[in-house]
Structure 1
Amino acid sequence: MAIYHLSVKAISRSAGRSVVAAAAYRAGQELTDERQGLTHDYTRKQGVEDAFIVAPDGADWALDRNALWNAAEAAEKRKDAKTGREYELALPAELDAGARKELARDFARELVARYGVVADVAIHEPGREGDNRNHHAHILTTTRTAGEDGLGAKTRVLDVASTASAEIEHMRGVWARQVNMALERHQVEQRVDHRSFERQGKEQEPTRHMGVSATALERQAAREIPGREPVTDLGKQNAEIRERNRVLEAARKAMEKAQELFSGLEGVVCGRGRNPTLSRGRA
């Protein structure tokens, strides 16, 4: 079943993060952070299926990953500056590798066209111990527009609370439409929806976010005993939520089937009621 996921988060100095290090890790490459004088080597990282950069017309200099992210660091002076923005996307397991790559590229192009930023795309394979359907992409974008001469103005529309939420919701809708178009092109019946269960009018209960620590513990437990029950409180809660949702979905389908049968019987009865009355007159 195709799964919808799009999350957005900032790469910020206030959290002690370097956008150069983030780009190196996601792309599985070696990059040098000139501001800090540190080299980040992730060339031995496994699971990176592909990595490429989408830049605005004329900003060819930004296709060099090392130059791009060092420019992003150099453009910011504040100690709490946001030096990058990351979009994490779930790619449909129902598509092949080529189709997943084009889908990620299409979304990156949309980000570049709408905000004038540079988008650095890294496509990752599912983890060896996790869900083998978990194909996903990390798209790291600049927080400034890019042109022929370098980075320009800040993309404030994504930084200000009064506009950021609406922009992110718009891009969530864009991603849902792009995924569904790709599924349709490849003759896959499933569709995704970026809206919450409540907005969709569904009674399903959302699962809780696991976080890094709980996810790592669950993966370690799965390695030790494949198929075992969850070991963390969050894992157990999510298992219960999934079971409740399964029961609700089964009940919903049963109700729909019963309604279809009732409608069919109602039609038969009504049809019988419309039989012409036999004439009682003499021949």
Structure 2
Amino acid sequence: MAIYHLSMQIISRSKGQSAIAAAAYRSGEKLHDERTDEQKFYARNVQPETMILTPTNAPEWMKDRNRLWNEVEKVEKRKDSQLARELNIALPIELNRDQQKELIQSFAQHEFVQKGMVADIAIHRDDANNPHAHIMLTMRNVDQNGFGKKNRDWNADFANAKESNRGYVKNSEGCLSIREQWANYANKALEKAQSNERITHLSHENRGLEVLPTIHLGHVAHDMEKKGKQSQRGQVNRERQEYNQVVIDLQTYRRQKEAHLQKMKEKEKQFSFSTEVEKTQIQKAASLLNQQVVSLDDIYKRHGELRKMSDRHDPIERHFHVQQQQFLNVSNSYDHVKALEHDIKQNEEKVDELKGSLNPF
């Protein structure tokens, strides 16, 4: 499942940080800090995939990681100097390695490098389920001679990005939202890869979700959890996951309850007749069907059953009807014969009377 994570920070001497040390840790390379004359190296099990993107007017040496960040350290004189900006971005696991690389390159090139920043990118894949990229960004304008003045437009909104959810770069239309832009870039890449997954920069609260979001572990907590040790951040996530399960169960109950109420409303609609006569008739139909609740569908179904029964009895009824008609025909014949016999007898009696009157002897 594609997840959204984009965190931001400023690497600063006031926090005891070093641009050389930060670049060495993220890139997995050995870098020499000329300011302190120290070698910076952090061994990694999986070597990061790295690249440096520079503006078109930048000198070629800025693509050398060691020289790039040593020049940054040299140009920053103050003990509380801000040395670099950094983004930590989760890459969608639905994309393959080449697609992930293309996505982060495109995002950094269009949103930062084209604005004049140098972007030092390191993709970490120590955990197959948590591929992510670090982008270190320079803070000064560059030209063919190197670094110039700091561009305050780049970091004014970066410093309060967590509170305002806004980005670093200003244009004539106002501040760009880097968090939103990343979601747009990632979703386009997912769509291109024919994945149905999508991410959003919006918080759970803004999206109207009741569940709580889990927090980003970070490499220290992640390593502890991987070794079976419980971290404070891991415990927060476990508690939130337990809470979210209760919320999900409650949401399931709500859906079931709503479905039941909807079903009851549909049942009530079946009794919403306009006259008392119709109510009485439907109640009679219910008693005939031996049901407490009856619908028109039930009536039509029963009507169909009765018609089928009628169709089955029709041949028998027709047979009995023919037999009855035959009996009636025979009966009428007997009656007709009797009537004829009666007429013959009467005629015979009249003939006998006539014979007596004509023959005196």
Flag whether TM exceeds 0.5 (same fold).
yes
Instruction: Specify whether residues 3 and 32 from structure 1 end up closer, same or farther in structure 2 by C-alpha distance, changes over 3 A only.
Output: same
Structure label with greater radius of gyration: 2
2:207 alignment partner, one of 200, 213, 230 = 200
Instruction: Specify whether residues 78 and 108 from structure 1 end up closer, same or farther in structure 2 by C-alpha distance, changes over 3 A only.
Output: same
Whichever residue aligns with residue 36 of structure 1, its letter is T
Correspondence 1:134-283 to 2 at 5 A: 134-160=130-156, 164-165=160-161, 166-167=166-167, 170-208=177-215, 210=217, 214-221=221-228, 231-249=230-248, 251-252=250-251
Whichever residue aligns with residue 55 of structure 1, its letter is T
Instruction: Specify whether residues 256 and 178 from structure 1 end up closer, same or farther in structure 2 by C-alpha distance, changes over 3 A only.
Output: farther
| Alpha-carbon distance in structure 2 between the residues aligned to 1:16 and 1:163 | 18
Secondary structure, aligned partner of 1:58? coil
| Alpha-carbon distance in structure 2 between the residues aligned to 1:86 and 1:63 | 17
Q: Does 2-11 or 12-21 show the bigger shift?
A: 12-21
- Residue number in structure 2 paired with 1:123: 123
Instruction: Specify whether residues 265 and 53 from structure 1 end up closer, same or farther in structure 2 by C-alpha distance, changes over 3 A only.
Output: farther
Secondary structure, aligned partner of 1:200? coil
Once the two structures are superposed, residues 183-210 of structure 1 have per-residue CA deviations (whole angstroms, 9 ceiling, x without a partner) of 1111111111111111111112133565
Higher helix proportion: 2
Sequence identity of aligned pairs in percent? 37
| Alpha-carbon distance in structure 2 between the residues aligned to 1:258 and 1:150 | 67
Q: CA RMSD in A?
A: 3.2
Question: TM-score scaled by structure 2?
Answer: 0.63
Instruction: Specify whether residues 143 and 194 from structure 1 end up closer, same or farther in structure 2 by C-alpha distance, changes over 3 A only.
Output: same
Instruction: Specify whether residues 211 and 65 from structure 1 end up closer, same or farther in structure 2 by C-alpha distance, changes over 3 A only.
Output: closer
Correspondence 1:49-68 to 2 at 5 A: 49-61=48-60, 62-68=62-68
| Alpha-carbon distance in structure 2 between the residues aligned to 1:155 and 1:84 | 12
Whichever residue aligns with residue 212 of structure 2, its letter is E
Q: Is 2:113–2:119's contact at 8 Å kept on the other side of the alignment?
A: no
- Residue number in structure 2 paired with 1:2: 2
Q: Does 176-185 or 233-242 show the bigger shift?
A: 233-242
TM-fit CA distance, 1:100: 0.5
Instruction: Specify whether residues 72 and 269 from structure 1 end up closer, same or farther in structure 2 by C-alpha distance, changes over 3 A only.
Output: farther
Whichever residue aligns with residue 176 of structure 1, its letter is A
Once the two structures are superposed, residues 7-43 of structure 1 have per-residue CA deviations (whole angstroms, 9 ceiling, x without a partner) of 111111112221112112211112222222222234x
Q: Is 2:52–2:119's contact at 8 Å kept on the other side of the alignment?
A: yes
Q: Does 199-208 or 241-250 show the bigger shift?
A: 241-250
Could you list the runs of 5+ residues in structure 1 that have no partner in the other structure? 223-230, 276-283
Once the two structures are superposed, residues 106-141 of structure 1 have per-residue CA deviations (whole angstroms, 9 ceiling, x without a partner) of 1211332464110000001033xxxx3100001111
Could you list the runs of 5+ residues in structure 2 that have no partner in the other structure? 169-175, 273-295, 297-361
Matched positions, count? 262
Whichever residue aligns with residue 37 of structure 1, its letter is D
Q: Does 250-259 or 81-90 show the bigger shift?
A: 250-259
Instruction: Specify whether residues 210 and 91 from structure 1 end up closer, same or farther in structure 2 by C-alpha distance, changes over 3 A only.
Output: closer
| Alpha-carbon distance in structure 2 between the residues aligned to 1:18 and 1:167 | 24
Q: Does 33-42 or 141-150 show the bigger shift?
A: 33-42
Q: Does 179-188 or 247-256 show the bigger shift?
A: 247-256
Whichever residue aligns with residue 6 of structure 2, its letter is L
